[in-house]
Amino acid sequence: MGNSFTRTFFEKTRLIARPAIAWLLVSFSTSALCQSSVDVDNWPQISAEARGQRVYFHAWGGDTALNAHLSWVAAETMSRFGIELIHVKLADTSSAVTRLIAEHDAGNTERGSADLIWLNGENFSALKRANLLFGPWAEAQPNFELVDADRFPEMRQDFGVRTDGYESPWTRSQLIFYYDSERLIEPPRTAQSLRTWLRKNPGEFTYPRPPAFLGTTLLKQLLIELTAEETSADIETLFSNPPNESFDAVSAPLWAFLDEIHPYLLREARHFPQSGAQLRSALNDREISLAFAFSPNEVVSSISRGELAPSTRSYVFESGTLSNVSFVAIPNNAPSKQGAMAVANFLLSPEVQFKAATNAKLASEPVLSFENFTPDQQAVLLENARAPGAVSPTELARKIQEPHPSWTNELEREWLRRYGGGR
Amino acid sequence: MTWATRFLFLLLGAPLLVGSILALAPAFAYYMPDGSFNDPLNHSSNHPAGLIPPAFFALVSTPGIATSAMTSLLAGLLTPALSLVSVFLFLAATQTGRASKLIAQLAAPVLAIPHAAAAFALALLLAPTGVASRLVATLAGWELPPDYLFINHPNSVALVLGLALKEAPFVLLVALAALPSTAAPRRVALARTLGYGPTTAWLLTVAPALYPLIRLPLFAVIVFASSTVDVALILGPSLPPTLSVRLVEWFVAPEIEQRQLASAAALLQLFISLSALGIWLLFERLIARAYATIAARGAPREASRVSRFEAVLTPVGNALLPISLVLVLMGIAALCLASVGGQWRYPTILPTTWSLQHWSAALSSWQAPLFNAIAIALLSVTAAIVLSLVTLEAQARSRAGTASLSTFLYLPLLIPQVVFISGIAVFAERTRLPPSLLLVAVGHFFFVMPYVYLTLQSGYARLDSRWLLLAKTLGASRTVCFWRVRIPLMSTQLITAAMLGLTISLSLYLPTQILGAGRVPTITTEAIALVSSGSRGTIGTWALLQSALPTLCFMLALLLPRLIWSKRKGML
């Protein structure tokens, strides 16, 4: 399970990053305009109305550490705010989105099944554009200013799409690589050196099968890195534009790269792991000697759970790695919007952020800016950053922004076309 | 046909029909507004007049779809074949002696273990980092796990093996239940006087009589094996996955384009499952002919040839089924180890540290799922028992035929689960039925009903009607006959039916997940959700938790009648 909930969450949410936009627009533009009359700027009133509400939080449930954390949050919201928070544990977050779409399709505009959903990427932008989300509300939360969004613009950007107050951040993620320092002395730190290293060490690396989120993330990382090497390619097209007829040309180096490394992967690429968790098991069992995760604290929390050896170390590629922020959103047919906002605000409080960050099994990466923690909390966080297996803050500062969300879908489609049908 | 039978036809048939239609209909949609990348107009211009809906073109052009369909078809044929062969060889070799009773008792709990749990057990044994490999590593001094592909291999051997491990015990119990009516000992005795060895004699004389009695359950196995999702996810190939796995992936995708693809795939799934049945029927005929030829040839004259044939079949028959049961039990042991293991790196055979963290994490969150699972199981099983009894009683009183109904009851088992449950979910959403425990219980009812009804039906058939006649001559009314004579005399079947129903309900995943919309968590949905975590400890713990209740039910089914009839003779 993952440390991190983010990594694993994304793996189960890959379907969220798919374009449903046109259909959404066609189907729901008629039913979409009935926002309820919640005054988001009157926070005292929201808190008062939230009391006694029942909030269904649809979030991936495959991480026992996250589940335990959320049941702690639920106990606190009950005792402090009188809100009954129910974590609807999804095996695959896309089912919540499917459900939301089906509800609107059936004309259900008031009594939806979800009050709060952990959303990201393409699905967010699709749902937002189709007016299936309630808002704007996120920046009216008292705790929102603690994230210091003016200094950290990624708090208002979900895969390059402006959140416009329709989503509230609650955790962040970054791609990191990890290895067992007893088996591997000098791990590869660029895409090119990965290829060279793999030739000498066949079978010691693999990646989750796209469209599993982590697998697609590696594709994006490699794509950006390989594109940056090509002097002729314009890297900005990756970030600002949906893929167009230039897709084949831009992505050609990536496929050539994959064709080259596949014979050297574990099981000669005839079978890929399904998730980052299986990747971690493979590393722990020495099937492979290099793995990766989409959570900076993956290794620390896995060591504490006994799922990785204490000699495991993590790092970030030389030119940086992909990073993004995780958000929660409120469907516009949510019956308990006030309760959902109160919960989102509580998730942003220094207390909850600190608790999630210092929970050894969870080790979530806070979204609050560092100075908004108390000096005592800051000291603990700094201490944790020096734990064995942690990535140093300076390394983590090497962040690469996500490509435009529509690239995800195209990369997955092309990968499946090339490799998904078997040999 | 009695009014009760008609009612049951309607009650089961209408949702099946509506569900299947709603699930399959989107495949025939002609519009394809998938937005950004595909021009919907291209489809219609490429394919004149749009005679064939675009979803089917999309399906056909999906990479590896033929391989996926073929894998499903092969799994659907090889699983029942392997199960049937191992069970018949076993029965022939043991001649239903003491050994077969022992094995049958071992097989019953295996039947109770949910498919997913058994699949995990097998993976935990046979993967490159599994227990078997660790044993070899310790002996051979390996440091690193071997890089071989068995679990998830494109040839699907692991998938078929995993399915057969679960289906063979089912076929065994069905066969044992039907065996008494074949007068097996007399047939074998007769054949032996003609010079056949006991195993050959059984295969030539009892098997042809027994087979027709277990055909329908075998058909259910064929359909299940060709459309299973959870086992295929765990043991099946991934490049490409089986058709059923891809179908579910498409069905849960948010875009309509994918939903249409899912519907077209559902139609293909239906076709594949029916094809598997068709091919099976074809083989039935071929084998029947071969049988006739072999039997007509008579026993070979030379004693040595007879004994050679016997000498091969008998040990194989003795070994095959017991080995498969031992495999499952070893897998369960491996799950137990994993659930209490902390650090357990390759190649150590036992975990190097022990920890209860997986259990404490599981136990902190299992009350609601447990309550839901039990409530759903009780609701659906009670409904199934009441309806079965009402129908059977009405039939008994009117002496109407029942054959068509029992075939019909198999329909929910002969239509792939994914196909009609997804349609029911669409229906519930359209009629604004909120997802609830009750709705899930209704979904479970369809899968519980066939087993409950068929168990009780055999009870009705078996009960000597002279008991009722005797009661009537003593002045008892029909109601009194039912409550004071039939129900007590049938209590063994009632308990069996209830426990079988509970076991099935407790391990259903897809209907629970789809109809409950994630709001009605049960032990099984929690287990599958956590399985995506990939941690051996968590998987072990939840697989065991998931198996615990059904196993308990099975033990009760075996024990309760013994307790109830402890002072009576000949009731078991």
Mean pLDDT of A172-183: 92
Structure confidence at residue A13 (pLDDT) = 40
* Separation between Cα atoms, residue B426 and residue B23, nearest integer Å: 8
Domains of chain A, each with CATH number or no CATH? 5-172+325-388 (3.40.190.10), 176-322+403-420 (3.40.190.10)
Per CB-CB distance under 8 Å, the chain A contacts of B65 are 421
Whether the predicted pLDDT of B30 surpasses 60: no
Per CB-CB distance under 8 Å, the chain B contacts of A209 are 238-239
* Separation between Cα atoms, residue A95 and residue A101, nearest integer Å: 10
Nearest Cβ partner of A277 from B33, B343, B534? B534
Position A127: which residue type?
L
Q: Do A306 and B355 touch (CB under 8 A)?
A: yes
For the CA atoms of B517, B523, B528, B529, what is the dihedral angle to 10 degrees?
A: 60
Task: Quickly tell me which residue has 């989503």 as its tokens.
Answer: A167
Among B13, B275, B133, B366, residue whose Cα is nearest residue A71: B366
Phi, psi dihedral angles at A117 (to 5 degrees):
-130, 140
Whether the predicted pLDDT of B29 surpasses 70: no
Per-residue pLDDT reduced to its tens digit, B366-421? 888 889 999 999 999 999 999 999 988 888 887 666 567 777 777 777 777 777 77
Residue B98 burial by CB count (10 A; 0-12/13-18/19+): exposed, middle or buried? exposed
Whether the predicted pLDDT of B34 surpasses 60: no
Q: What is the DSSP letter of A369?
A: -
Residue A238 burial by CB count (10 A; 0-12/13-18/19+): exposed, middle or buried? buried
Residue A49 pLDDT class (50, 70, 90 cuts)? very high
- Can you say whether residue B298 is alpha, beta or left, with left for phi > 0 and alpha for psi between -120 and 50 degrees? left
Residue A2 pLDDT class (50, 70, 90 cuts)? very low
Angle at B61 between CA B59 and CA B67, to 5 degrees: 80
Residue B302 pLDDT class (50, 70, 90 cuts)? low
Chain B nearest CA to A148, separation (Å): 33
What is the predicted ipTM?
Answer: 0.78
Helix (H), strand (E) at residue A327: strand A321-329
Whether the predicted pLDDT of A21 surpasses 60: no
The tally of CA atoms less than 13 A away on the side-chain side of residue B467 is: 16
Least confident of A141-150, A343-352, B325-334, B504-513: B504-513
Per-residue pLDDT reduced to its tens digit, A373-407? 999 999 998 888 888 888 888 888 888 888 877 78
Whether the predicted pLDDT of B181 surpasses 60: yes
Per CB-CB distance under 8 Å, the chain B contacts of A112 are none
Per-residue pLDDT reduced to its tens digit, B98-119? 777 788 878 877 888 888 889 9
Structure confidence at residue B504 (pLDDT) = 87
Nearest Cβ partner of A106 from B256, B429, B529? B429
* Separation between Cα atoms, residue B430 and residue B286, nearest integer Å: 48
Chain B nearest CA to A190, separation (Å): 26
Q: Do A22 and B36 touch (CB under 8 A)?
A: yes
* A264, closest residue in chain B (CA to CA): B147
Q: Do A18 and B254 touch (CB under 8 A)?
A: yes
Structure confidence at residue A162 (pLDDT) = 86
Q: Do A67 and B365 touch (CB under 8 A)?
A: yes
Residue B531 pLDDT class (50, 70, 90 cuts)? low
Whether the predicted pLDDT of A72 surpasses 90: yes
Per CB-CB distance under 8 Å, the chain B contacts of A87 are none
Q: What is the DSSP letter of A331?
A: B
Structure confidence at residue B278 (pLDDT) = 96
Q: Do B37 and A58 touch (CB under 8 A)?
A: no
| pTM given for the model | 0.81
Close Cβ partners of B420 (under 8 Å, ≥ 6 residues apart): B15, B16, B19, B20, B23, B412
Residue of B108 and B218 predicted with greater confidence: B218
Per-residue pLDDT reduced to its tens digit, A108-151? 888 888 999 998 777 787 788 778 999 899 999 999 999 998 88
* B356, closest residue in chain A (CA to CA): A305
Q: Classify each residue of B15-25 as buried b or exposed e, where b means 16 or more C-beta atoms within 10 Å of its C-beta.
A: bbeebbebbbe
Domains of chain B, each with CATH number or no CATH? 1-25+356-572 (1.10.3720.10), 65-244+272-355 (1.10.3720)
Structure confidence at residue A30 (pLDDT) = 37
